[in-house]
Amino acid sequence: MKFLVTGGAGFIGSHVVDRLIDAGHEIVVLDDLSAGNEKFINPHAGKESFQFHKIDLLHADITGFFDGVDEVWHLAANPEVRIGAEDTRIHLEQNVIATYNVLEAMRTKEVRRIIFTSTSTVYGDADKLPTPEEYPTIPISLYGASKLACEALIASYCHTFDMHAWIYRFANVIGKRSSHGVIYDFINKIRSNPAELEILGDGNQTKSYIYVDDCIEAMFAGLKAEGKNKNRVNIFNIGTDDMIIVKRIAEIVCDEMQVSPKPEFKFTGGKRGWKGDVPIMLLDASNLNKLGWKQRYNSEEAVRKAIKDLLDN
């Protein structure tokens, strides 16, 4: 089969590309490298089954790249949740309009299948934990709102133009090739000043963290539901069945970096790390569990493994 992967040079996208190439498929990657890194996909350069195009989904004519494509994995997005409070257009453009452009290219070239990476932030401050897919979606960040808008666009295109979609709502995905997030920030802050570590909020934010390999396995497990599930739009949560507190993540980072003496923790205050931050998040992934998928690493194991990955690289 021929697959097109947007954001295929990014953290999660490059792992998807690895998996699809290993399965013997033909891959076309579109990425503007604003969040991705070409070195993540360099091992595939020169292969007949692989193409990479540095291109902006927002401003370029991308339709021609969809010729003969069987399935689209749409992972391109601006991943920085916090930036929406500073630049209110960025998630509208890079997430919503870019997704519209992908869907229009699919419609024009009659591509019928799309896999989309969404987020736990579509639920906002959920009262029910773990949060199931049926829970009301009331996002509190512009990032979450943009991802929910993308979900709505995808659903409407599926029903209007006979497409099928798999939408995955992620917990915090961490691991090798990650270039943002709390672990990445803590490591860089300690390298800059090993005597002090700034922690956003009160440090009591408690969330689910899933290792990237587990996340990739979960996405492919969801696709196996195709024979049983004829829905045009299939939505699955992906996350661990436990949580970890931010202060504990800071302690593990210090342990793995062998910082001595331990830095003084400085908290910025408030229960949220930033405007739109969801302080408690745990997703119900039981629908994927029923399909045979199960996490290999709990949140603390994933955090420790991700720290080692980043320190090694």
Catalytic site positions: 143
d(CA 38, CA 42): 6
Identity of the amino acid at 119: T
Q: Which two tokens stand for residue 230?
A: 């004829």
The residues, ordered by sequence, that sit 6+ positions from 296 with a Cβ below 8 Å of its Cβ are 211, 213, 214
Outline where the chain has alpha helix (H).
11-22, 90-91, 98-109, 142-161, 182-192, 212-223, 246-257, 286-289, 299-312
**Residue 89 and residue 140 in contact, taking contact as beta carbons nearer than 8 Å:** no
Instruction: At 143, list the tokens.
Output: 């990032």
User: Residue 51: which residues within 8 A CB-CB, separation 6 or more?
Assistant: 27, 28, 29
